[in-house]
Amino acid sequence: MNLSSLGRRLAELVEASPTQKVDLGVLYDAAVAFDRSLATAPDARSEIRTALDELVVAGVVILPASSRGYDQREQPPLPLWVRRPPRSRSGPRPKPVRVWPAVLEAAGRIASREDELAVLEVVAAFLRGGGGARPSVPVRERSLELFGDEKRLDSLVTTRLFTAGALTFELLRCHQVPIPFASQWVPGAVDPRGTALLIAENHHTYASLLEVTRSHADRGGPGRHVGYGTGNQFPSAVLSMPLLVPQPERILYFGDIDLKGMQIPTVATLNALQAGLPAVVPAIPLYELLFAAPYRLPAKPVPADEATAVCAWLGELADAACAALVNGQRLPQEAVGYDVLSRHPEALHHI
């Protein structure tokens, strides 16, 4: 149906209204603003009603069903309001059909968000370009190549695409690189027990161990690597042990007697064994010197069950370490410094 000019104006008003219901006063004001003559014309009421009837026929408005919904003081009756019909709701847009490489089909079933789909598009392009045959490189090198951000894969590895196993570093032809630790090879006699790597938790003790190890080697002691475990980084850094030359066959650790000092080698041992490396074992002679030292510093007491579990790594000295932790004591490894080590060369010899 072709609408009159007034009908078109009122239709525009109804369509643009922020509410579905439009009152008569709003309609009347809009009609008069459109045609000033309606303010005084005797047939203005009829013209407005005719325009509204046009909108009803055109499906633009719905009028009240009850007579109480009309102003009937004059003829013809005018609706006190009109209502815009409910707008049809469009259904969700169908997801674009994406065809993934076979190795990404599982990831494609998981991905539902746009950011996840964008990641898969990048990976798919990499694989279609022969990425699966590329040499494996450090993670951040591949991350920079794929995303223009060397740290993007560091964050993606915690998302469901990776935690579900749908995406892997192997698929992206990259690998994690262990954090290196400072280590120096001290030449000396051949150790029949195998080449050792002696790690100190703290760098001051590392410096003393390195100096005393050199003096000991000069007097016929065994050659070995002496390293600084970089504190909490050692559980990761231990994985860089295969880079050392000559290859260590034993990994010995010496740290503080406190909760952290016990947790670090415990976790490092698990990581080393999972990587096919030797277990991280305590440097017992050095820990014996530490327990013999007079220093007992205050620390937060550790619950007995937690202390027992974490101190088990210390083997024959586990009970002594557990008692210290439970009693709120901390034994700093700096107590076994240069002077103590120089007076007890046998400790280094028996490591």
Give the sign of the dihedral formed by CA 312, CA 314, CA 315, CA 317: negative
Query: What pLDDT is stored for residue 37 in this prediction?
Result: 83
Query: Is the CB of residue 331 less than 8 Å from the CB of residue 295?
Result: yes
pLDDT at residue 234 greater than cutoff 90: yes
Mean pLDDT of the chain: 91
Query: What pLDDT is stored for residue 92 in this prediction?
Result: 55
pLDDT at residue 135 greater than cutoff 90: yes
The string of pLDDT tens digits covering residues 17-51 is: 888 899 988 988 888 888 888 888 888 889 999 98
Q: Where are the domains of the chain?
A: 5-83, 102-175, 182-349
pLDDT at residue 1 greater than cutoff 70: no
Higher pLDDT, 106 or 90: 106
Q: How much of the chain, in percent, has pLDDT values that exceed 70?
A: 97
The string of pLDDT tens digits covering residues 163-216 is: 999 999 999 999 988 777 789 999 999 999 999 999 999 999 999 999 999 999
pLDDT at residue 91 greater than cutoff 70: no
The string of pLDDT tens digits covering residues 275-308 is: 999 999 999 999 999 999 999 999 999 999 999 9
Exposure class string for 211-223: b at 16+ Cβ within 10 A, else e: ebbeebbeeebbb
Query: What pLDDT is stored for residue 73 in this prediction?
Result: 87
22 to 32, 36, 55, 126, 300: CA distances (angstroms): 16, 21, 13, 57, 71
Predicted confidence band at 231 (pLDDT cuts at 50, 70, 90)?
confident
The string of pLDDT tens digits covering residues 146-165 is: 999 899 999 999 999 999 99
Higher pLDDT, 307 or 6: 307
Q: What is the rounded CA–CA span in Å between residue 318 and residue 307?
A: 9
Half-sphere exposure of 174 (CA within 13 A, CB side): 22
Query: Is the CB of residue 226 less than 8 Å from the CB of residue 174?
Result: no
**What CATH number was assigned to the domain covering residues 182-349?**
3.40.1360.10
Q: How much of the chain, in percent, has pLDDT values that exceed 90?
A: 69
Query: What pLDDT is stored for residue 164 in this prediction?
Result: 93
